[in-house]
A and B are shown apart, each in its own frame.
Chain A
Amino acid sequence: MATTLTREDVVRRSAERTSYRFGSPLRRSQRIAGYLFIAPTFLLFLAFVLWPILYTAYLSLTSWGGFGSPRFVNFDNYTRMLNDPVARRAMVVTLVLTGVTTAILTFLGLVAAVLVNVIWPKVGVVVRTILFIPGIVSFVVSAVLWKLIYDPNIGTLNRLLGAIGLDSLQHPWLADHRTVLPAIIVVTVWGGLGFNMLIYFAGLQSIDPNLYEAAAMDGANTLQQFRHITVPSLRVVTGLIVSLGLLNGFKAFDVIFVMTGGGPNHHSEVLGTYLYSLAFGTTSGSIPQLGYASAFSVVTMVLCTLAVIAQLWLTRRADR
Chain B
Amino acid sequence: MSNRWVGKSFATFVLLPFCLLMAFPFVWMLLTSMREQNTIFNGPIIPRKFTVTAYKDAWTSIEFPLHFWNSLWITSVTVIGVLVFATLSGYAFAKLQFPFRNTLFVLLLTTLMMPSTALIIPLYLELKSLGLLDTQTGLLVLYISGSAPFAMFLMRAFFQTLPDELIEAARVDGGSELTIFRRVILPLTRPGIATVVIFQFLQTWNEFLIANTVLRNTDALPLQPVLFTLMGQYSTNWPALTAGLTLSVVPVVIVYVRMQRQFVAGMMLGAVKN
Contact = CB atoms under 8 A, between A and B. Distances in A.
Contact of A297 (B18, B108, B113, B121): B121
Interface string A186-198: 0000100101001
A119 B12 contact: yes
Given A49-B149, A280-B213, A290-B121, A129 B260 contact: yes
Interface of B is mostly: helix
Contacts of B114: 49, 53, 301, 304
A163 B118 contact: no
Nearest to A60: B121
A1 B165 CA distance: 9
A116 B15 contact: yes
A118 B85 CA distance: 42
Interface in B93-109: 93, 96-99, 101, 104, 107-108
A249 B102 CA distance: 31
Contacts of B170: 1
A56 B114 CA distance: 12
Interface in A35-52: 35, 37-38, 40-42, 44-45, 47-52
B122 A44 contact: no
A34 B98 contact: yes
Nearest to A299: B118
Contact of B166 (A2, A48, A243, A247): A2
A280 B45 CA distance: 40
Nearest to B202: A136
Given A37-B96, A44-B85, A44-B148, A144 B245 contact: yes
A214 interface: no
Contacts of A272: 117
Given A5-B169, A51-B122, A52-B126, A148 B238 contact: yes
Most chain B CB within 10 A, of A52, A59, A147, A253, is at: A52
B177 interface: yes
Contact of A116 (B11, B171, B213, B231): B11
Nearest to B4: A118
Contact of A26 (B141, B152, B171): B171
A240 interface: yes
Nearest to A255: B208
Contacts of B1: none
A220 B116 CA distance: 48
A149 interface: yes
Interface residues of B, number: 101
Interface of B: 7-8, 11-12, 14-16, 18-19, 22-23, 25-26, 28-29, 32, 40-41, 45, 84-86, 88-89, 91-93, 96-99, 101, 104, 107-108, 111, 113-126, 141-142, 144-146, 148-149, 152, 163, 165-166, 168-173, 176-178, 181, 184, 202, 205-209, 213, 224-225, 227-228, 231, 238, 241-242, 245, 248-249, 252-253, 256-257, 260, 264, 267-268, 271-272, 274
Given A119-B15, A138-B208, A298-B118, 15 more contacts: A31-B97, A34-B96, A37-B88, A37-B91, A40-B85, A44-B85, A48-B141, A120-B12, A136-B252, A148-B242, A149-B25, A190-B25, A193-B22, A247-B113, A297-B117
24 contacts: A10-B165, A37-B89, A41-B86, A47-B126, A50-B111, A51-B122, A51-B126, A120-B8, A133-B253, A134-B26, A138-B224, A138-B252, A141-B245, A144-B231, A154-B40, A154-B238, A195-B267, A243-B274, A271-B117, A290-B121, A293-B121, A297-B120, A304-B115, A308-B274
- What are the 4 tightest A-B residue pairs by CB atom distance, in nearest-first order? A33-B177, A251-B115, A34-B98, A138-B206
